[in-house]
Each structure stands twice: as C-alpha cells, then as structure tokens.
Structure 1
C-alpha cells in the first residue's frame, strides 16, 4: 500500500496541472503627480499623524516623499509637482523652508501650525482666537454639511480675496477652516481623522486639479470564514448576494486552531465549507487572505492577533511558546548593541510573516481558492509587516495601524489610496465598521456612517459582516447599503490585483481570475497538498467503483427478471 501511495504521489507531481493554469501580468499606471511633504513633529520622524496625511494624499498619487522641514533645501523640490507642509507642533522653521516655499511655483498646501513662517505665499493667513466648532460645511454646497462633536481649531483671519473652501460653525457664527488664495491652500487644523478627513480629501480634488468621480463605491466583506464555519449559513448569505447580483469579499482563514488542545483543522477536514467557498468564489465572491490562523499563543482563531503580540503591545518578535524579551535602549551597553537587537527582532518578524503568508496563499490555491487581497487580523500589523506583505499582495483591505507603539492607533481614509507606507499596495478602506451582535442599532449606525463618507465625492462605504449572525440582519444591512445614492459595488475580480508566493501567482482583471501555478513545485512544499488530491481522487474512484458495482447489480437484476419472464412464457404461465 505504501509503495502504491508513493507511486501515486510521483504521478501527481509529474502529471499535468490539477488547477487552472494561465499567464497574466498586471502593470500599474504611474501617476504624474509627485508630492514632497515637509513636516515638523515632536521626534523629527514620520509617525501616525504624517501617515494619516500619507493616506489622504495617496488617493491622488503614489509618488510621495516625506522630509523633516529642518533638513530641506531648494534642490529637494526638483521634479516635485505639489508641496505640502504639516506643522504638527509649534516650531521655529529655518530660512530654508521659507526659501523653498517662495521658490516653488506649483500648488502648495499647509496644515496646522507655523503658517506665519511659510513665506509670502501664506501672508493672507493671520492667526486669530481659538474657536470651538460643532458643525462643518462647504459654502454653497448644502449637501456637504454635518454636525460634529465639539472640536477646537486655532482660528484664522482672512481677507475678501481669500476663498473659503470649508468652514466651521457654532452658535455665534462661521469660521474658515480650509482656505485658498491662488494656488496656496491652508488647513486650520492638525486633525486628519474623521470627520475632518472627509472634507480634507474633498479639497484635495481641487489641489490636484482632478475631476470629482461620479457614484459611491461600496463593498461588503464576509468576515472570519474558517474551517469550522457553518456551510449552510455561508450558502444562505451567498444566495442572497447572488440573487441581488452584488459582488462581495470573503475574508478567509485557512486554519482553525483549537485554543485548548492546539489541534488544527484545515479546509480538507471541512469539505462542505470548502464546497461552499468554491461556489461563492464562482458566484460573485472574491477571496481575501485574513491571516493563516488568525491567532497567536493560546487565543482562538478569529479572536487572536496573529501579527501582533497584543499581550506586550508590540510586533511578533518571538515564537508562540517563547517568553518576550522586553529590553529597551537603556538596558544595553551601547546604541549599536540595541540596534543590532532591534534588527534581529525585525528579521524574526519578517520570517514569521513570510512563512504564514506564503503558507496561506499556497494552501488556499491548492484547494482552488485564489486570494486577491490581504487583510491583517484585527487590522494590526507593524510598519515592517506592511513592507513584507507588499511583496506578496498588490491590494490591502481594511483599516491601517499607524505606528508600532500602540495597536489601537489605527484609522481609515475616505477614498481608496496608495500611501507610501504600504509600499505599492492599493488600500480599499473599511469605513462603516460591522454589525455587532449585541448592538440592535448596528445597521442604523453603519448607514449614518455611510451618509457622512459621502461628503467626499467617491467616498468609500465599506463594511463587514459575520455570517454566523444569520441572514435576517444581513438582509437589513444589504437593504440599507442599497439605498446609498448611485452605489457602485466593488468587484475585486474587475480590478487589477496580483498575488504571488513561491510556486503561485494569481492575477485578476476584467472579471476573471488567472493563475500561474508551478504544480510540481507546490506539491513538493508540503505533503499535505498532494495527500489532499490523492484523497479526492480516491473518493472519486471509490464512488466510481461503487457506481460500477451498483450498475452491475441493476443489470443482473434486470437480466434475472427477463430470464424469469422468458421461462414463464415458455411454460405458458401468466
């Protein structure tokens, strides 16, 4: 039996492909705009605040460079089409900053503090008293107004020749928030989180001189689908979406790990779930890799933080059974020793992520499921992690963690973006949240969010749903999203996506998925892969044998019936 099994494996490795094969290459169009962002920050490095700006600008160009304002020279603006200054902290700027601002002839936007030091182009902005506003609006556009929680802004004075693009309001009057004079823009706030980000992104259409898009893109994502998912619940939701002809995303976790026993369950252990997923992929669904196990240490799949050590609030720098080494700079004899320690940690994290992402892609591909994008569990991942993932995926779905100090520092952005810290990945932002099991008004809350994100033309309305909640609440969510004016459902298969791992390349576009899989190489990466196909082939063979046997029984029975009838006629019996 063992010899037969080995022979069969070799046959599978040498035979033709078991999965669809095609070659396809996707090349992204380069954006002509080139942006230089000067910044003044507390620690002189790019941090969460600058990355929020990165996310906003990334919707209009993927050529973005950040530079500490103290180090800028006139040579830095060579080839730059748009210049930004972000004053997060009060600072004394060098004369070089003013020289750069006065020399640059393209569109310039300044945010936050230190505007009075930015040269002649910003002389139209004068500091005034701080104001607390409770509403935001855009003059002459009644559909772009909303009430907000009280927020303090620095306050500015402008002359009659200055155009007000966004204004704040309170009981005593209106106050300019975003203003423009010729090709100079000023934003009187350092906040780039919602709801301010919605207005900021809307103004960027003007800054980059790009026509606002028609329609409102939207997506629904079915979350945390693993081998223990209920196939009947999956199919019930899938049938609703198929009937409505709504494309959707499926956040798939290839392995369920029992937190008590450590036992793993794969999709080959759950054939009905796998069957449902294949049906969904064929009928409007697109697979997203949502981690490999969606857990770390003793957490449960779907609950854990696979790419973040939440217990110590830091990236994954040690194995699941290893104790965390929490030494800091002051614990080392020299900075060089600490930096070497840091690089070792980052190398461990890289290896950890690479193994899990590679295995996830390969395992899904082996089952005929083709991930077109990536979503980190709980949206938690280090900056180093994003760089690693970008080597495997061209598309990322969800919210983004903005620095490595606290996983809770995560945010979204109003429109799809290619921020520089995603290293070329396209972000499809999640903006609506999800249907919380304990929240009876969850759908109502999500639809209110959808209304707010339409402040930005082309604002994304993306949310997710756990299929185990059943179809009733799902129908409420879909019906609510269908009411979004001119809703345009995102279909990942229509987008240009590229997913690559060892022996696997997956591309999409124009509604199709194409795969280039080195079947022999894939089978040799893990014995689990050929064993699955052997099992399937054996089952088919057994059914074939059973079918032949049953056919023989039926034929024999028919033959005996005919013989008995013939003998009766010969004896003259009735």
Structure 2
C-alpha cells in the first residue's frame, strides 16, 4: 500500500515538474483586461473618467470604456476586472446589476450609485457626510497623511467588511475604501490628490501585484531655448554630473522675439548648442518642449503653442485669424456640425504635425535627439495627444483632461499608459517646480514627495529653470537624494521611440540609436544645409588660420636660426 502511494507521489512530482514551466509562462503572459463602466452627465467619457484611466493605465494591459446603462452580458467576456465610476447620481437599468452580479473577478465601485450595482455591494449603505482632515490605512502607520479639510459622503458597512483606507476627523473615523468578498467600494467622487495616491496604492491589491520598494525620480531642466545662457547651462550640467544624476532637458528649438517677431535657432547660438551637446553626452536626455513654445505674439517659454489660451480652445485657426466660435446649435443639421468639426480636427492635426516634424528634424540636424515630448504648459487637446502619439512613444508632464478648459489638468502617482494617450507612456510630473519668487519652493516640493510616497513606487518628478543658478538646484538635489530608495530615471535606459519624416530615434540600455536620411533631411528645409555649410566654413576658417599661424611660426624659427648662424660666422 505504501509503495503504491510512493509511486503516486513520484508521478505527481514528475507531472508538476513537467507543467511548472508552462504555468510560469502562463503567469507571465497574464493579461489584465479591464472593463470600465461609467455614469456621467452627458453619457460620454469626461475628465473624471480619464483620471481613472490614468490610474488604471499603470496596471492594465487593455481598458475598455462603456456607459453603464448600455452594458450587455457579452461585454464582460475575457475581462479580468470591472470598475464602475458613478460620476453623477443616476438610476441604472436592472441589466447593469445583472451583468456585474454574474462576473467572477474583482469589481470596484467608485463614487455614486453603488446601490444600483447588484447584491455584491449590499455590504455598503449611505450615512451622514463627515469632514476629514487626514487619511490613513489601518495597520500601516507610515501611510497616514494630513489633508485639507474635506467633506466625504458617509457610508455604513456590514460586519466582515475590511476597511483599507479611512478618513480621520476631529472625533470620528470614516471608511473611504472598503472591501468585501472581492468587491471594493471607493467613497469619493473624484480621484484627485490626495485620494488618487491612496487609490493607486489599493490598486496593487486589486490587481494582485507586488508593490516596488524604490521611488522613481526625475529632474527636468525647463525651457532651454537659443537665448539661454550657456554658462548657466554648463554650471547646472556640471553640478548634476558631480552628483551622478541623470536628467531631462526640455528643449525649445526656436526663440521668437515677442516684439520684432525675429526667430533665433540654435545655429545662431553655437555656445548654447555646444552646452546642450555636452549635456546630452553627460547624463542629459532631450525632451522636445514644443517648437516655439508660443502662439500669436507671446514670448517663447511663456506662450501656449498648442492651445489658444485667449479663447480657451484648441488650435482650429491661424495665428492671425479670429476663431470660429459656433456651437452645434448654430448648424442646420448634426451632419453639418460633424463636417465642421472634422475640418477643425484636420486643421489642428496639420498644425501640430508641422511643428513636431520641424522640431524633431531641427534638433536631429544639430545632433540633439529628443526621446520624449512635453506640451508647453501641458496644454493640448485630446486630438492633440492622438497626433503626438504618431511621433513619440513617451510623454512627460501633467495632462489636460478635456477640451473645454485648459486648467482642467492633473497628474497621477505612477508611470502609466492611459488609453487616451493612444499607446504613449506617461511619465507624470508630481512635484511641480522651484518657483523663483518662493523661498519655500523646495520644501513644498518635498511635501509633495511625502504625499506621493503613499503610493509605493509613486513618482517624484519635478522641474527646474537653469537661469536660477546652481545654489537652489543644489539644495533641491540634496533634499531629493534623501528620499528613501530613490531611483533616478534615465530616459536613455528606457525604451523610447521618436520618429518624423527622415528621422527615427530610439533608446534603451543607456544608448541612443538613430536612423537619419541626411539627403532627405537636407532637402526638407534650406536651414539644414545652410547650418552645415556655416559649420564647414567655420572649420575652414580655422584651418586657414591654422595654416597661417604655422607659417608664422616656421618663419620665426627660420629667422632665429638664420640670426644664430650669422652670429656664429661673425664670432668665428
């Protein structure tokens, strides 16, 4: 009998050894395919839903969005998770609850209408609103943070429900994120900081992912254009090199004078160009920060290149044109309105494509290779992000969330791949910057680090203007180097791809590879061959000068020898 059991055990071990590699491979290939159901005022994806998109983009491979009122049973097929976001209060059809009730994976409900989502959420009920001044995670004292007073919709929970995040008030504790049998409820109506940091931390649990130990960080040197001070650039570069910190350089290829309209390129500022090349070779990675960083007559570095801030709308018109401000009500039919909208989007696409192409080509012509993009002032339409994704695989900065108000922008704690970025990776900026007129700016940035460390692996990314000099940068670096397990991001170590006509740039493992059609590049604009002709002329002039100096030196040597010979003859 024992021999038979032993044989079975040996056989079982052989089977396990045989299938273990296949199981491991299957685990590695596990796809997180998420269905997001939402309820919004107009039934469309809005800024709040895009905030959720940004958070989920750090974990999910695929995200599908659907109005909760339109969901069908087949929509959950192959899905690993369901998230419902009730942005507005609404009565949902019974079909929505039926679909959710029959789903076997984790379900997360955010905001309103949780009672409409079926029996799985019977453990949650309404309660009186309460004001909280801190957030915490029970059992994790390092995750407690003070916040500005915030009124939350109160909830009651059944016994056996686990409180993951709670709000702390003067005399009360209030559940904020709770779980019961694989159903999660998030009792907030918007996923903005500080709630976004706690939500992203809980996503590690929801997606059954191990949280990282390190804190990724980056410094971006902002608004470097042809009128920058080359000595200041070199001072900053040397300091960062001394600290052995890789960094990003937000580069603007063209400076436009706000009064005269005169354009200056890096070919007009050889010392700035020399500094940028040195920086690229010694820890810096170029980020294209627009082409001129201005629209109409604003100064480079101050303007909104991809957004008409004066009329708070996308670029649907020329710089000297008055925008067409019509709405759908001004058209005879929805079809006419749709045609007009398509014309606007086509104009915007052509405008953005021209500037991205010029920016990439011009920098490549100078030997500068942009690995990512940052929109000036982070302002860009949803169509704009789609266009940029055709040129760049990586975006750095904050994100504008809809086309109605440029001020509706936000960030997210983790590097992400949101669906509205159309395949681009987002490296979020979380710390803001060293404001020139704020002596407490560095401390405020470190306060933000503390907030974003609620999320394990939360990004610590901010920017600095080189014209401020090295003293304040040294202070900032000294503080950031104290972040526990800080890991400085290096774009060259990451896989990035930038492409435009005649130029393909890629990076990875610390190197930059380029494929450049020099002939095509030279024919794309007269500026490119003119620049190389100017460089050749300068080298030729130095060569001629060198020959002249050599002749003078040889003549001097000859004259000295002749004089010495004559003296020897005279004395002899």
Shorter-chain TM-score tier:
over 0.9
Q: How does 1:401-440 map to 2 (within 5 A)?
A: 401-440=400-439
Write out per-residue CA displacement over residues 360-390 of structure 1, whole angstroms, 9 at most, x where no aligned residue: 0000000000000000000000000000000
Task: Check conservation: 1:166, 1:177, Cα contact below 8 A.
Answer: yes
Change (3 A) 1:353 1:62: farther
> After the TM superposition, which of the residue ranges 81-90 and 564-573 deviates more from structure 2?
564-573
Match of 2:333 in 1: 334
Task: Check conservation: 1:62, 1:420, Cα contact below 8 A.
Answer: no
Match of 2:115 in 1: 116
Match of 2:461 in 1: 462
Structure 1 unmatched runs, 5+: 1-28
Write out per-residue CA displacement over residues 494-526 of structure 1, whole angstroms, 9 at most, x where no aligned residue: 000000000100000001111011111111101
Aligned residues: 545
Match of 1:502 in 2: 501
Q: Distance in 2 between matches of 1:234 and 1:376?
A: 22
Match of 1:493 in 2: 492
Q: Distance in 1 between matches of 2:479 and 2:159?
A: 43
Residue 159 of structure 1, CA deviation: 2.3
Task: Check conservation: 1:31, 1:62, Cα contact below 8 A.
Answer: no
Match of 2:224 in 1: 225
Residue 326 of structure 1, CA deviation: 1.1
SS in 2 for 1:260: coil
Match of 2:519 in 1: 520
Match of 1:179 in 2: 178
Residue 31 of structure 1, CA deviation: 7.2
Q: Distance in 2 between matches of 1:31 and 1:449?
A: 34
Q: How does 1:31-46 map to 2 (within 5 A)?
A: 32-46=31-45
Q: How does 1:160-559 map to 2 (within 5 A)?
A: 160-559=159-558
SS in 2 for 1:273: helix
Write out per-residue CA displacement over residues 465-489 of structure 1, whole angstroms, 9 at most, x where no aligned residue: 1111111111111111111111110
Residue 401 of structure 1, CA deviation: 0.1
Q: Distance in 1 between matches of 2:160 and 2:390?
A: 49
Task: Check conservation: 1:31, 1:61, Cα contact below 8 A.
Answer: no
Match of 2:68 in 1: 69
Q: Distance in 1 between matches of 2:221 and 2:467?
A: 10
Write out per-residue CA displacement over residues 318-356 of structure 1, whole angstroms, 9 at most, x where no aligned residue: 111111111112222222212111111110000000000
Q: Distance in 1 between matches of 2:501 and 2:29?
A: 27
> After the TM superposition, which of the residue ranges 323-332 and 230-239 deviates more from structure 2?
323-332
> After the TM superposition, which of the residue ranges 270-279 and 90-99 deviates more from structure 2?
90-99
Task: Check conservation: 2:31, 2:61, Cα contact below 8 A.
Answer: no
Residue 78 of structure 1, CA deviation: 1.0
Residue 182 of structure 1, CA deviation: 2.0
Residue 555 of structure 1, CA deviation: 0.7
Q: Distance in 1 between matches of 2:396 and 2:546?
A: 46
- The answer to whether residue 101 in structure 2 is matched with residue 106 in structure 1 is no
SS in 2 for 1:121: helix
SS in 2 for 1:372: strand
Structure 2 unmatched runs, 5+: 1-27
Task: Check conservation: 2:290, 2:355, Cα contact below 8 A.
Answer: yes
SS in 2 for 1:358: helix
Q: Distance in 2 between matches of 1:126 and 1:543?
A: 81
Match of 1:140 in 2: 139
Residue 571 of structure 1, CA deviation: 2.4
Match of 1:96 in 2: 95
SS in 1 for 2:290: coil
Residue 407 of structure 1, CA deviation: 0.1
Write out per-residue CA displacement over residues 382-425 of structure 1, whole angstroms, 9 at most, x where no aligned residue: 00000000000000000000000000000000110001000011
Q: Distance in 2 between matches of 1:306 and 1:221?
A: 19
Residue 30 of structure 1, CA deviation: 8.2
Note the aligned Cα RMSD (angstroms): 1.1
Residue 160 of structure 1, CA deviation: 2.6
SS in 2 for 1:535: helix
Larger RCO (CA under 8 A, 6+ residues apart):
1
Match of 2:8 in 1: none
Q: Distance in 2 between matches of 1:34 and 1:487?
A: 31
Q: Distance in 2 between matches of 1:332 and 1:191?
A: 35
Q: Distance in 2 between matches of 1:96 and 1:504?
A: 52
> After the TM superposition, which of the residue ranges 179-188 and 242-251 deviates more from structure 2?
179-188
Residue 42 of structure 1, CA deviation: 0.4
SS in 1 for 2:218: strand
Q: Distance in 1 between matches of 2:545 and 2:133?
A: 74
Q: Distance in 2 between matches of 1:39 and 1:223?
A: 37
Change (3 A) 1:31 1:52: farther
Match of 1:22 in 2: none
Write out per-residue CA displacement over residues 101-127 of structure 1, whole angstroms, 9 at most, x where no aligned residue: 011101110101111111121111122
Q: Distance in 1 between matches of 2:29 and 2:327?
A: 41
Task: Check conservation: 1:417, 1:427, Cα contact below 8 A.
Answer: yes
Match of 1:125 in 2: 124
Task: Check conservation: 1:62, 1:419, Cα contact below 8 A.
Answer: no
Q: Distance in 1 between matches of 2:156 and 2:340?
A: 51
Q: Distance in 1 between matches of 2:29 and 2:281?
A: 32
Residue 556 of structure 1, CA deviation: 1.4
Q: Distance in 1 between matches of 2:224 and 2:204?
A: 38
- Runs (4+) off by over 3 Å: none
Residue 311 of structure 1, CA deviation: 0.5
Write out per-residue CA displacement over residues 278-335 of structure 1, whole angstroms, 9 at most, x where no aligned residue: 0000000000000000000010000000000000000001111111111112222222
